[in-house]
Amino acid sequence: MVATPANCDDSTASGIDLRRLVRDVPDFPKPGILFRDLTPLMRDPEGWREVIRQLEQLCEQLQPELIVGIESRGFIVGTALATMVGLGFVPVRKPGKLPSEVITVDYELEYGKDSLEIHADALAGGQRVLIIDDLLATGGTAAACAELVVAAGGNLCGFGFVAELAALDGRSRLPQDQPVQSLIIYS
């Protein structure tokens, strides 16, 4: 099993400083929050290529059969990765966005409740699934997605994130038997 320590930061392994390409936006979306904006990283072709290259290495280690991306920025990262490694992509969406029968999971946020959905037949074959998202913060959304993957019949094989806010301890909410890799870790 692949394990990435919480203090591991491979953002400069290729000589490209991914952290340098992330913009800090103070007081967004509300006062006191320091928002880590990944859009400059996505705009930079070399930086974005490096993000996908590093996540591709995670795929080589974990051997997923499908990539699941969490709405909405997980779609951007997940579809790029799935295309690069030749795998299918399955979206996990907010309620009411998928057109067929769904499985729904409700979960707690620090400020309320939310829900996620997946097509009921999306993982019917029991495939190995890698969950991809842009950011691991408190871990609630990623943990709910893991619950959905299992409920839909998938075999979770790990998580990949572009960035992680380690001080929020989101890893502790994820299944402890699953590997988690974050390319940029903010203490």
In order along its 187 residues, the chain shows pLDDT tens digits of 344 433 345 455 578 999 999 999 999 999 999 999 999 999 999 999 999 999 999 999 999 999 999 999 999 999 999 999 999 999 999 999 999 999 999 998 877 899 999 999 999 899 999 999 999 999 999 999 999 999 999 999 999 999 999 999 999 999 999 999 999 999 9
Residue 4's pLDDT is: 43
The reply to whether 110 belongs to the active site is yes
Task: Say if domain 18-186 classifies as CATH 3.30.1490.190.
Answer: no
DSSP, residue by residue, 90-148: EEEB-TT--SS-EEEEEEEETTEEEEEEEETTTTTT--EEEEEEEEESSSHHHHHHHHH
Residue 112's pLDDT is: 83
Report pTM.
0.92
The conformational region for residue 123 under phi > 0 = left, psi -120 to 50 = alpha, else beta, is alpha
Query: Nearest CA to 63 among 90, 48, 85, 83?
Result: 85
Where along the chain do its domains lie?
A: 18-186
The SS3 of residue 177 is coil
Residue 111's pLDDT is: 76
Residue 57's pLDDT is: 98
Query: Nearest CA to 185 among 46, 12, 66?
Result: 12
Residue 3's pLDDT is: 40
Q: Which of 56, 73, 128, 147 is catalytic?
A: 73
The reply to whether 73 belongs to the active site is yes
Residue 37's pLDDT is: 97
Residue 11's pLDDT is: 52
